[in-house]
Amino acid sequence: MRMQKIALAAALALSATAATAQTVKIGFITSYSGLNGNLGPYMERAVRLYLKQHENELGGVKVELLTRDDTGPNPDKARQLAQELVVRDKVNLLAGVIFTPNAMAMAPVASEAKVPFVIMNAGTSVITARSPYIVRTSFTLWQSSYPLGQWASKKFKTAYSLVSDFGPGHDSEEAFEKGFTEGGGKMLGKVRVPLQNPDWAAYMQRVKDAKPDVLKVFIPAGKTATAVMKNFSELGLDKAGIKLIGPGDITTDEELPNMGDVALGVLTVHHYSAGATRPENKAFVEAWKKEYGANETPNFVAVGAYDGAAIIVEAIKQQKGKLDPDKTMEIFKHWKNPNSPRGPIAIDPETRDIVQNEYLREVKKVGGQLANVELETVATAVKDPWKQFKK
Amino acid sequence: MLSSVVSVAFHGVAYGMILYVISVGLSVTMGLMGFINLAHGVFAMAGGYILSTAMARMGLPFPVALLVAFVAVSAASIVLERLLYSRLYTAGELSQVLFSIGLILISMAVARVVYGNLAAPVFLPDYLRGQVHVLGRDFPTYRVFLIVFSALIIIGLWFGVERTRWGAMVRAAVDNRGMAQSVGINTRLLFMTTFALGSGLAGLGGALGADILPVQWSYPFEHLVYFLIVVAVGGLGSLRGPFLAALLIGVADTACKYWIPEFGAFLIYAATIGILLWRPMGLFGVRA
C-alpha cells in the first residue's frame, strides 16, 4: 500500500515536471483561401522558418502553431475562430491576420481573454488602439503612404488617388493626400474601388481623362496588383505621361514575374523588398529559398510574420515558456531588432505599433528578373504618422 | 463629354464581352442543355492554365495556345461527361448542384497542388498589346480583339443552334429526350458532343479572359456569381439572352463606375435583382 502511494506520488511528480516542460500554443489565423488566399502561406512559412532557425534558443519549450483559415476579408469568421482557439484550445497567443476587418473583429476577444495578439500584416492604423493586448510587427499604410505623398509633392504637381474601398485603402488615401498637399501638390480626384473588382478599365479611363501627373494606387497586393498594372498599361496611361506610384503593395515581390515588363519603372515606398541588399535580408532570402525551393521568394507579408515570430520567441525565452499576458505585453513593448531583414525595427511602447524605415524603390531588371530595387531611405524610424497627428 | 460617352460605351461593351466570353460555355451546358453545371468555372480555369502552360513553358504562339485550350478542355470534358455528368442528366437539380460543387472543390485542390498559389502568368503577344487610335481616342487593342472575337463566337453559335440540323436535334432532345430518341436521334452522342462544345467554349473563355481575370486556383468560385448572373439574367434556353445580358451588365456597370464610382460596387447586383423581379425567367428565358 505504502509502496503504491509512493509510486503514485512519484508518477504525479513526474507528470508535473512533464507539464512544466512547457508548450506554448499560438492561435494562428490567416487567409489560405478567398481574396489573397495566396498570402496566408507566406505568413505561415515565415513563422515556421523562424521557429526552426531558433528552435535551440527556446530551452526545450515547445511551440505549437494552431493554424486556421479565415477565408479572406471575413470578420465574423475570424472572430469565431479566435473565440474557439481561446476558449476550446486555450491558446497563449493569437497571431497572424492578413485583413484589417478580421483583426478589428478579433480585438475584443484578445482584450476580454487577455490573450496577447501579434498582428503580422493587417495595416490600418487604428487597429492597435482597439485592444491593449495587440502588438503589430508589420506596417501601417500611413507609414508608407504619408512619406510617399511628401516625396511625390517634390516631383509632381497633380495627383489622382485610386484605392480599394476598405480600412487600409482609406488610410492610404488620406495619408497620401496629407503628405502630397502639405508639400504643395494638388489632388485632381480620388476614387474608391470595391475589394473584389473584376474590371478596372472604367476607373483607369476616369483617371486618364483627368490627366494627372501621377496616379497613386493602393490595393491589397496579390493578383489585384497584377490586374491593376496590366490595365494601367493596356489603357495607355503610361503613354499619356502618367506615372504610377504607391505603397509597395502594388509591386509586391511575388507578383512581379506575373506583371512582366509593364511594371518596369514603377516607383513605390515600402518597408521591405526581397531584392534589398543588406546582409540580413540576403541571409533571410537564402534561408527561404533553401527551405521552400529556389523559385520561391519571401515578400512583405513574410517579413512581417518573420519578425512577429521573433517577438514571440523573445517573450518565450524571457519567461521560460510560462507566458503571463501582461508580462508578455511588457516584453513586446520594449522589443527592438536592429538586424531585421527590413533594417532596424522596434516597437513603440506607447502605441505597440512597429517603428521602421521606409524605402523608395523602383522596379528594375536585376539579372533578368524584375525586382524592387531600393533607391534611398525616404524616412527613418517612422512611427505610425496617424497616431502622431492624432496626439 | 461626347468622347467620354464613347469611352464608356467601348469599355462597357468590352467588359460585357469578357463576361460573355467566360460565360458562353455555361449558356450552352446550362442554358441549352439544362444541366445546372456550377462547375463551369473549372473548365474555364483549366483553359486558362493550359493557355499559360502552352505559352510560358512550351513557347507556343497565342492563337495556337487558344486552340490547344479549346481542344484539350473539350477532350477532357468528354471523359468527365461519360464518367460523371451523363449519370445526372435526369437527376434533380439538387443532385446536379451538389455534384458540381463537389467537382469545384476537388478541382480547386488539384489546381493548388499542381500550379501553386500564385496566378498563372499570361503574357499577350506584342500585336495585341498597346492601343488602337481612332478619332482622337485610344482603345486597348486586346479589348478590340475580344469584342470582335466574341461577336464571331455568338454568330457561329447562333447559326449552329438556330439554323443547322444539329441545333434542331439539340433543341428537340432537351425539350423531350424520350421522343427525340424514338425518332432515331442518338441523344447520347448528341449530349456528349454538345457538352464537349460547351466545356471547350468555357476553356476558350477562361483562356481569352485570363489576361483580365487572372487564373488562380480559386477561380471557379470567385467568378461563379458572374457566370450565373449572365445566364440567369439572359434567361435559360436562349442563346442571345446571355449575350445581351452580358452587354447590358457590362455597359451599365462601366457607366456607373465611370460617372458615379461611389455606387459602382453594387450596381451589377441591384440590376440583376431588378431584372429578375421584373422578368423571373430572364430577359429571353423560355423556361424558368
Tens-digit pLDDT profile for residues A64-93: 999 999 998 999 999 999 999 999 999 999
Structure-model confidence comparison of residues A110 and B138, the more confident one: A110
b/e sequence A159-197, b meaning 16+ C-beta within 10 Å: bbbbbbbbbbbbbbbbbbbbbbeeeebebbebbbbebeb
B27: pLDDT strictly greater than 90: no
Q: Please report the pLDDT score of residue B70 as a whole number.
A: 94
For B39, other C-beta atoms within 10 Å of its C-beta total 29
d(CA B74, CA B71): 5
Q: For residue A134, what pLDDT band results from cuts at 50, 70 and 90?
A: very high
d(CA A385, CA A209): 32
Q: Please report the pLDDT score of residue B34 as a whole number.
A: 79
End-to-end, the C-alpha distance of chain A in Å comes to 70
- Distance (Å) from the alpha carbon of A255 to chain B's nearest alpha carbon: 8
DSSP state of B218: T
Give kind and range of the element (H or E) at residue B243: helix B240-259
d(CA A221, CA A172): 13
Q: Taking residues B41-57, what's their average pLDDT? A: 93
B7 in contact with A at a CB cutoff of 8 Å? yes
d(CA A229, CA A234): 9
How many percent of chain A have pLDDT more than 70?
95
Q: Which three cell numbers stand for residue A203?
A: 476607373
B59 φψ region: left (φ > 0), alpha (ψ -120 to 50), beta (else): left
Q: For residue A11, what pLDDT band results from cuts at 50, 70 and 90?
A: low
Q: Taking residues B38-61, what's their average pLDDT? A: 92
Q: What is the pLDDT of residues A180-189, one digit of tens each?
A: 999 999 999 9
User: What is the residue-averaged pLDDT of chain A?
Assistant: 91
How many percent of chain A have pLDDT more than 90?
76
- Distance (Å) from the alpha carbon of A10 to chain B's nearest alpha carbon: 50
What's the whole-model pTM score? 0.84
Q: Which three cell numbers stand for residue A64?
A: 505549437
CB-nearest to A201 from B119, B211, B254 is B254
Is B118 close to A192, i.e. CB distance below 8 A?
A: no
Q: Of A147-151, B184-188, B265-269, which has the strongest mean pLDDT?
A: A147-151
Q: Of A100-104, B36-40, B141-145, B161-165, which has the strongest mean pLDDT?
A: A100-104
Is B131 close to A239, i.e. CB distance below 8 A?
A: yes
Is A192 close to B262, i.e. CB distance below 8 A?
A: yes
Q: Please report the pLDDT score of residue A17 as a whole number.
A: 47
CB-nearest to A202 from B212, B223, B254 is B254
Question: CA-based angle A195:A262:A363, to the nearest 5?
Answer: 90
Helices (H), B127-183: 141-163, 165-175, 177-182
Residue B124 CB-half CA count within 13 A: 23
Nearest CA in chain B to A233: B130
d(CA A310, CA A255): 26
Is A198 close to B213, i.e. CB distance below 8 A?
A: yes
> Is the CB of residue A135 less than 8 Å from the CB of residue A348?
no
List the single range of A98-112, A178-192, A265-279, B136-150 with lowest mean pLDDT. B136-150
B20 in contact with A at a CB cutoff of 8 Å? no
Q: Please report the pLDDT score of residue A18 as a whole number.
A: 46
Is A199 close to B138, i.e. CB distance below 8 A?
A: no
Q: Of A33-42, B11-20, B72-81, B161-170, which has the strongest mean pLDDT?
A: B72-81
Give the list of residues 6+ apart from residue B262 with CB closer than 8 angstroms, or none. A192
Q: For residue A1, what pLDDT band results from cuts at 50, 70 and 90?
A: low
Q: Please report the pLDDT score of residue A19 as a whole number.
A: 46
Q: Please report the pLDDT score of residue B93 as a whole number.
A: 87
B81 in contact with A at a CB cutoff of 8 Å? no
A350: pLDDT strictly greater than 90: yes
Q: For residue B32, what pLDDT band results from cuts at 50, 70 and 90?
A: confident
- Distance (Å) from the alpha carbon of B125 to chain A's nearest alpha carbon: 12
d(CA A30, CA A53): 22
Q: Which of residues 96-155 of A touch B (CB under 8 A)?
A: none
Is B138 close to A258, i.e. CB distance below 8 A?
A: no
CB-nearest to B118 from A38, A196, A230 is A38
Chain A residues with CB under 8 Å of B253 CB are 199, 202
For B145, other C-beta atoms within 10 Å of its C-beta total 17
B140 in contact with A at a CB cutoff of 8 Å? yes
